[in-house]
Chain A
Amino acid sequence: MSQHAHENARVPFWRNPQIRAWLYQSIMLGGLLWVAFIMYQNTLANLEKRGIGSGFGFLQNEAGFNIGETPPIPVLQGGFLWFIAALIVGLFASRAIAVWLKKKGTAITASDKTVFAVITLVGIIPVLVLFLGSDSIAFTRYTESSSYVTALLTGFANTIKITILGCIFSTILGLIIALGRLSPNWLISKLCSWYVELNRNLPVLLQLFFWYFIVLQQLPSVRQSIDVGGWLILNNRGLFLPAPIAQSGAWPFCLAIGAALIGIYFICRRSMRLLNERGTPGKIVLPSIALLIGLPALVWLIAGTPFTLEYPELKGFNYRGGIDFTPEFTALLVGLTVYVSAFNAEIIRSGIQAVSNGQREAARAIALKERHVMRLVILPQAMRIIVPPMTSEYLAIAKNSSLAVAIGYPDFVSVGGTILNQSGQAVEIVGIWMGVYLSLSLVISLGMNWYNAKIKLVER
């Protein structure tokens, strides 16, 4: 006791780090609360002055504006509800498995079996439920008399569409550019490195404007469309492709493709097992192709035509039918893909170069074939370096898709902005934006982190 008293006497209380820490933190917390309170008061006063109510009730009001692109949105009823229920049950079950495994001292990612179980729970079962209930699943399309909620959902669907396609295309293009930069061909590698330098150093908005206002405007008019055998029609109203229309055999056909993909997974596993057992990998490519083509073809013969193609046709002033990509969508997709592919290319290139040369030499020394060197030795190690920065790029695509507002593609921000202008509910709309983008970022980074955890180097 006296010891403590002695110490306290020597060190004044304001010099005690712990007390100081609490002092700083309470000052900061107090300050934050005070600022929040002032802002709250100001907001109330401002809203009253402008005659704007608060709360999310306005979302039920009729929107009344037009949206250029209206993908179908599933209605929260029937089959879709069952899908969501299955998804939630699957998520809780996987969570339970994770907790149980953690108690046992392992993780879900430790073995293929548990990973497969989780994929089944949160992916395959809900999708099966969705397919089985496909008769009762209802879709709605946004019209001018729909509510603000439907408008926002439509915008969100458009954002998701551009994000997914952008991620896929920019990865493929990035891989091609990266391999081009690593090519021993001087001209190719110079060309690819200039592609990267050009794209990285120009604002993405400028590139979008370039694609939208300059390239797409110079495409021929509807009458003089570029027509590739009726399959691909390109003019200044957009890009038109034939659309598959589901027939009676559609859903067995999809099932067959799913089964073939699962089969390929097992072929790859068998190949790896054989590689470990007898030193040479099993055949992958030929059996996979056979399975991927053969099984669906067989189902096609038994269950009948799965799809018929609906070709776009010139009616009046524009093409009707088929899949049409509006100029806004095309410009946004091309612009984002080209911009992000430059960054992806650099990430992939540096990942491949970071794998030490000794690995390559060792792989050759044990007489692996050149393509096996790449697939079995270089790429798995490069992936560990590539995945974390690629995650940020995928997140960047999701966020940069909001630039759609500048060229008039009705994405989530663009639709929200229109609602904001109409209703004046700024705080609510910005709140919704933030919430939705945060959840989207969270989902993407969760997925990529999970993949990262699966492929990362396991050390002691």
Chain B
Amino acid sequence: MAEIIKDRRPPVTKTGVLGWIRSNLLFPWYNALLTVVAGWAIFSAVKPFVQWAILNASITLDPTVAKQYSGAAWGFVRDMWPVFMVGIYPEEHRWRPAVALLIVLALIMLTLVRKFRGTKWLYTLWGLSPVAVYLVIHGGFFTGLEVVDTHYWGGLMLTLILASVAMLFSFPISVLLALGRTSDMPIIKSFCVAYIELVRGVPLITILFMASVVLPLFLPTDMELDKVLRAMVGITMFFSAYLAENIRGGLQGLGNGQYEAADAIGMGYWQKTLLIVLPQALRIVIPPMVNNFIGILKDTSLVGIVGLVDLLQIAFATTSNPKWFGRLEEAYVFVALWYWILCYSLSRYSQHLEKKYASK
């Protein structure tokens, strides 16, 4: 008699919502346990935050009304918004940073238009934009605008200015350092190696201290260097070394054949470097360079230690305002949100670039 094969149960579904939940959250048993633990952790962290930030929060501009709510007083952020943006920049001149921002935003918009991208006049405009931004914010010279000393610069504006100046100036310096480090000339090579290793071996704070305390000693006795400028010098010095190592990676990643081919058609050193080597080397290292720029943006927050009022330090400055005394949490969340959005979008951009150039 033939044996009757028992009916088998149908396979556990792996498709659809239920299947997804089963395979991603509940199976095997310890995964279910982990799901419960993780869910509980998320719940217990998010619940008080949501209560504080949304449910019990107020957005009134009146501090006495805001005190009646147990949650966040977002009216504080609304009230102090301009201070967060520009620090103690004089109130009647606040339109000037706004104009500077418009200039940069307009340029970014133009760049986003595919037709204009890579045209000479757009490059020229970008090249001129730092000068324009400086003239608008600082004033003086031939502009007829009242001079606003760097002493009054602060907030998000200062953070962005410090970061962009550091990116702008450390880029050419780091290219030179990287070329120097890979060159055959012993004195130039050893200078570049020494500079890079020295700077990379010490914390940014000591460089900032050096820029703020020691640099003035090196200058002639009658020469005064602006505090913001000193910080800029320090940050630029610091990041050139890190960026140089990135670029060196790109230089090393280039096949020897490229150098030999350039030599074979009789190119000189600078022709070879500018036309053959750098365009290829820099393209390889765009993602690590963007990561480095994120680092610059985050690390500009250290200038608070040598007495500048950047985006992070403004959090303290605003909360010592008698009207909104002690609203430190709100200030931190707001400042953190800014940093996070800026850095996260930069890191997304770097991932996009990586994908774009990976296909080639």
Contacts and interface: CB of A to CB of B under 8 A. Distances in A.
Interface of A: 21, 24-25, 28-29, 32, 39, 42-43, 45-47, 49, 183-188, 191, 197-198, 200-206, 209-210, 213-214, 399-400, 402-403, 405-406, 413, 417, 420, 426-427, 430, 433-434, 437-438, 441-442
Interface of B: 23-25, 31, 34-35, 38-39, 41-42, 184-188, 191, 198, 200-206, 209-210, 213-214, 216-221, 294, 298-299, 301-302, 304-305, 312, 315, 328-329, 332, 335-336, 339-340, 343-344, 347
B336 A188 contact: no
A402 B299 CA distance: 13
A28 B191 contact: yes
Contact of B312 (A43, A205, A420): A205
Given A191-B41, A430-B209, A25 B25 contact: no
B206 A206 contact: no
Nearest to A183: B34
Nearest to A420: B213
B206 to A, nearest CB: 4
A214 B332 contact: yes
Contacts of A213: 328, 332
Nearest to B24: A186
Best-buried of B23, B201, B329 by chain A (most CB within 10 Å): B201
Contact of B214 (A49, A403, A427): A427
B336 A206 contact: yes
Nearest to B33: A185
8 contacts: A21-B184, A21-B185, A45-B220, A185-B24, A186-B24, A200-B343, A205-B312, A442-B201
Nearest to A414: B205
Contact of B202 (A200, A203, A434): A434
Contacts of A201: 294, 298, 339-340, 343-344, 347
A186 B25 CA distance: 6
A402 B328 contact: no
B201 A403 contact: no
Contact of B328 (A186, A203, A214, A442): A214
B324 to A, nearest CB: 16
A95 to B, nearest CB: 22
A205 B332 contact: no
Given A42-B221, A201-B294, A201-B343, A402 B35 contact: no
Contact of B185 (A25, A185, A402): A25
B216 to A, nearest CB: 7
A42 B218 contact: yes
A202 B344 CA distance: 9
A405 to B, nearest CB: 6
Given A184-B24, A201-B344, A191 B339 contact: no
Nearest to A434: B202
- Chain B residues touching A, majority SS: helix
Best-buried of A21, A187, A210, A402 by chain B (most CB within 10 Å): A187
Contacts of B25: 185-187
A187 B39 CA distance: 8
B257 to A, nearest CB: 21
Nearest to A210: B332
Contact of A39 (B204, B213, B218, B332): B218
Name the 6 nearest CB pairs between A and B, nearest first.
A201-B343, A186-B24, A399-B203, A402-B203, A203-B298, A441-B201
A434 B204 CA distance: 11
A196 B176 CA distance: 34
Nearest to B31: A185
A206 B311 CA distance: 10
A402 B206 contact: yes
A357 to B, nearest CB: 19
A448 to B, nearest CB: 14
A23 B202 CA distance: 33
Contacts of B302: 205, 403
A214 B329 CA distance: 7
Contact of A188 (B34, B201, B299, B343): B34
B213 A426 contact: yes
A427 B202 contact: no
Contact of B304 (A47, A188, A205, A437): A205
A21 B188 CA distance: 10
A187 B38 contact: yes
B132 to A, nearest CB: 29
Given A42-B218, A203-B312, A430-B213, A197 B344 contact: yes
Contacts of B184: 21
Nearest to B180: A28
Given A214-B332, A437-B201, A24 B219 contact: no
B206 A413 contact: yes
Given A197-B344, A206-B336, A413-B206, A42 B304 contact: no
Contacts of A204: 298
A80 B311 CA distance: 48
Contact of A399 (B185, B202, B298, B329): B202
A438 B35 CA distance: 46
